[in-house]
Amino acid sequence: MSKLAADLARALDPVRLAEGIGMLPDEWQADVLRSSHPRILLNCCRQSGKSTTAAVKAVHVAVYEPGSLTLCLSPSLRQSQELFRKVLTTYRTLGRPVASEGENALSLTLENGSRVVSLPGTEGTIRAYSAVRLLLVDEAARVPDETMAAVRPMLAVSDGQMIALSTPWGCRGWWYEAWESGGATWKRVRVPASECPRIAPAFLAEERAALGSWVYSQEYECSFAATSTQLFSEDHLRAMYDAQVQPLFPTEGDHHA
Ligand SMILES: Nc1ncnc2c1ncn2[C@@H]1O[C@H](COP(=O)(O)OP(=O)(O)O)[C@@H](O)[C@H]1O
Ligand SMILES: [Mg+2]
């Protein structure tokens, strides 16, 4: 294939771009790479390839959509930078298909006007960007609701795409709510370790023994479990505020009809 034809193939199909870094995407990864769905939740086990997929997507957008802005958000700047580093590595491994004007630990600026920027994880320090084409939220279950509230409006004007990738972390928070009760707004992709061809059963047995079932079920089985530090389950807490549930030992202040 000529260079031009190869470039055209990559422009049209991000899976071809992934192949350019020696990655043969799993079916779900190819699906996410090709999807233009505006809201995607990736509930995929640890080491399944979430961040790698997000990074390829980011490079595809930056290279082939001139002037586009991609943001990488995580619970902390350090974690945002980890995802951003994957973006840089992907871009460099591809041989910098569009020249860069600036490459540092926080951002990549291309000659075609596109940018990929790493955000801090706390809403107080996030500066507002407008016309965001792609927002990647890594370790999404741990990104506070307040941070998401600060970031969401940045997608509004541009009709941008959000991909929120994570393993579950308790039955609370925006990512859990979106997965469980966010309705048809979201495209949901679920990949437990048993479906990842690169994770061996023997390794999983070892992890289960080392982590205990609470952590294991969230990290490798995509299941939401009440948090380990929580003395009372989510259901118990909810019941406290439920007028239908009678107290065991009514106090004087309790007047139930
Ligand atoms: N389709 C794939 N083929 C081969 N290796 C892959 C593929 N997807 C991901 N990987 C590798 O698997 C490892 C974990 O990927 P990563 O994206 O960090 O996972 P996650 O973010 O889900 O924990 C990395 O070394 C990555 O290069
Ligand atoms: Mg990751």
| Least confident span in 2-16, 34-48, 177-191, 227-241 | 227-241
Q: And the tokens for 9? A: 């193939």
CATH number of the domain enclosing 99: 3.40.50.300
Residue 254 has pLDDT above 70, yes or no: no
pLDDT score of 255: 47
Among all bound ligands, the one having the nearest atom to the CA of 74 is: 2
Q: What is the pLDDT of residues 202-226, one digit of tens each?
A: 999 999 999 999 999 999 999 998 7
Grouping H, G, I as helix, E, B as strand and the rest as coil, residue 154 is helix
Ligand 1 centre to CA of 196 (Å) is: 10
pLDDT confidence bin for 128, thresholds 50/70/90: confident
Q: What's the 17 CA to ligand 2 centre distance in angstroms?
A: 20
For 223-241, how does the pLDDT look when each residue is reduced to its tens digit (9 = 90+)?
Answer: 998 765 555 555 555 555 5
Q: Per the domain annotation, does 255 fall within a domain? A: no
- Chain segment 68-113, per-residue pLDDT in tens: 999 999 999 889 899 999 999 999 999 999 999 999 989 999 999 9
Write out the E strands in the chain.
Answer: 39-44, 69-73, 100-103, 107-110, 115-118, 134-138, 161-166, 187-191
For residue 39, the CA-to-ligand 2 centroid distance in Å is 18
Q: Residue 257's pLDDT is what?
A: 39
Rg (alpha carbons) of the chain, rounded to whole number: 21
Q: How many domains does the chain have?
A: 1
| 52, 87 Cβ separation under 8 angstroms | no
For ligand 1, mutation pick of 21, 32, 47, 89 (most atoms within 8 Å of CB): 47
Residue 99 lies in a domain: yes
At 126 the pLDDT is: 85
Q: Residue 24 corresponds to which tokens in the numbers above?
A: 């043969």
Average pLDDT over residues 34-50: 98
Cα–Cα distances (Å) from 108 to 54, 71, 96, 239, in that order, read: 15, 11, 11, 49
Residue 248 lies in a domain: no
Percent of the chain with pLDDT over 90: 76
Q: By the 8 A CB rule, do 89 and 135 touch?
A: no
**Alpha carbon distance 82, 74 (integer Å):** 9
104-107's contacts with Cβ under 8 Å and 24+ in sequence apart are 105/81, 106/81
Q: What pLDDT shows up at residue 232?
A: 55
> How many A from CA of 51 to the centre of ligand 2?
4
Angle at 64 between CA 61 and CA 67, to 5 degrees: 75
Q: What is the pLDDT of residue 44?
A: 98
| Closest-approaching ligand to the CA atom of 48 | 1
Give the range of the structural domain holding residue 88, as residue numbers without chain letter.
3-240
From the CA of 138, give the closest atom in ligand 1.
21
pLDDT of residue 58: 98
Largest CA distance in the chain: 84
Kindly state the DSSP code that residue 25 receives in the 8-state scheme.
-
| Within a domain: 197 | yes
**225 in any annotated domain:** yes
253 located within any domain: no
- Alpha carbon dihedral 219, 220, 221, 224, in 10-degree steps, equals 0
Question: What residue ranges line ligand 1, CB within 6 angstroms?
Answer: 23-26, 29, 44, 46-52, 198
Ligand 1: atom nearest CA of 44 is 22
Residue 254 lies inside a defined structural domain of this protein: no
pLDDT at 140 over 70: yes
* Residue in the structure block whose two tokens are 């596109």: 114
Domain-embedded: residue 256: no
Ligand nearest the Cα atom of residue 56: 1
Within a 10 A sphere around the Cβ of 216, how many other Cβ atoms? Answer: 19
